[in-house]
Amino acid sequence: MSDGCGFPAPGLHSFLFKPIFTVGGFEFNKVMLLALLTTLVVITFFYAAFGKAKVIPGKLQMMGEAGYDFVRRGIVYETLGKKEGEKYVPLMVSLFFFIWIMNIWSVVPLSQFPVSSVIAYPAVLALLVYLIWLPLTFKRHGFVGGWKNVTGYDNSLGPIKWLVSFIELFSNLLVRPFTHAVRLFANMFAGHLMLVMFTVASWYLLNSYMIPAAGVSFVMTVVMILFELFVQAVQAYVFVLLACSYIQGALAKHH
C-alpha cells in the first residue's frame, strides 16, 4: 500500500496466500489447489478425449488429437526426429498441457493466479528434465563420452580447451536448469503483476474523480489479458522446446 494516496500497489504480497487448511504442520494453500486442479483438468480432458476413441472422432477427440499432434509433430519430431522422439512424446505432451493450464489460471475468474509464477513449480519441472537429460547423456555416450558431451571437451581447441570445458560444465550443470525454470517463472510473475496493477488501478480510479483514467486502465487490463493468453501458450511451448533440445543434445554424437 503506497503512502498518502491509498492505492493498493501490487507486490510480493500478491503471491502469498493463507493456508486453506493445515495438517500436521503441512499447509495447503490456493496455489497447491490450483496445481492439483491442473493435474485433474489435464487427466480428465485426455481421458474424455481418448478413453473411448472412435475412428470418426467427435469434437472433444478432435481437440485432443490436434493438441497431441501439435506437440508431437511441431515440437518433438522437429527437434528429435520421429525415430528418437516418439518415446518422449507422452512426456512432452504432458509437460506442455500441464504448464499451459497452470498459466491459464491467471485469467480465470476466482482463481486469477498463474501457478507458474511460484518458482517451486517451474523448478521441479526443470529438475525433471535435468534428471532425464543427464543420465541419458551418460547412457548414450558412456562415462568418458558423457563428460565430453557435458563439457564440450575438444582437443582441437588447443590451450583454451580447459577453459571452454569449465565454462560448458558450469553452463550445462548449473546455468541450464536455472534458466530453464526462471524463464517460465519470470514471465508469469511479471505478467501477473501487470494484470494485478491494471485491474486494481481500474477499480481505484473508478472510485475517484479520475473516471476517464479508469477507462484507459480498464482497456489496458483487457489488452494485458489478451497478451497474457498469448504469452501463456508461448511459455509452455518454449519450455517443452528447450526440454527437447536438451534431450537432443544428450543423444547427439560428440565431435
Joined grid coordinates for residue 7: 492505492
Element (H, E) at 180: helix 176-206
The model carries a pTM of 0.88
Q: Number of structural domains, the chain?
A: 1
Name 31's Cβ contacts closer than 8 Å, sequence gap at least 6.
17, 113, 115, 118, 121
> Distances in Å between the alpha carbon of 52 and those of 12, 71, 180, 239?
45, 21, 36, 30
Measured distance CA(129)–CA(244) in Å, rounded:
9
Phi, psi (degrees; rounded to nearest 5) at 7: -70, 120
The residue segments making up the domain with residue 169 are 131-250
> Has residue 209 been placed in a domain?
yes
Q: How long a stretch of residues is the chain?
A: 255
Q: Which residue has the higher pLDDT, 9 or 70?
A: 70
Name 162's Cβ contacts closer than 8 Å, sequence gap at least 6.
none
pLDDT category of residue 193 using cuts at 50, 70 and 90: confident
> Has residue 39 been placed in a domain?
no
SS3 assignment, position 147 = helix
> Has residue 37 been placed in a domain?
no
> Has residue 199 been placed in a domain?
yes
> Has residue 196 been placed in a domain?
yes
Q: How large is the average pLDDT for residues 219-233?
A: 89
% of the chain exceeding 90 in pLDDT:
51
pLDDT in tens, 86-104: 999 999 999 999 999 999 9
Q: How large is the average pLDDT for residues 158-164?
A: 83
Q: Which residue has the higher pLDDT, 12 or 82?
A: 82
Q: Which residue has the higher pLDDT, 183 or 210?
A: 183
At residue 88's C-alpha, the angle toward residues 172 and 99, to 5°, is 75
Of the candidates 173, 153, 156, the one whose C-alpha atom is nearest the C-alpha of residue 164 is: 153
| pLDDT score of 244 | 95
Neighbours of 35 (CB within 10 A): 19
pLDDT category of residue 7 using cuts at 50, 70 and 90: low
pLDDT category of residue 11 using cuts at 50, 70 and 90: low
Q: Which residue has the higher pLDDT, 152 or 229?
A: 229
> Has residue 126 been placed in a domain?
no
Joined grid coordinates for residue 220: 489496458
Q: Is the pLDDT of residue 137 over 50?
A: yes
pLDDT category of residue 3 using cuts at 50, 70 and 90: very low
> Has residue 176 been placed in a domain?
yes
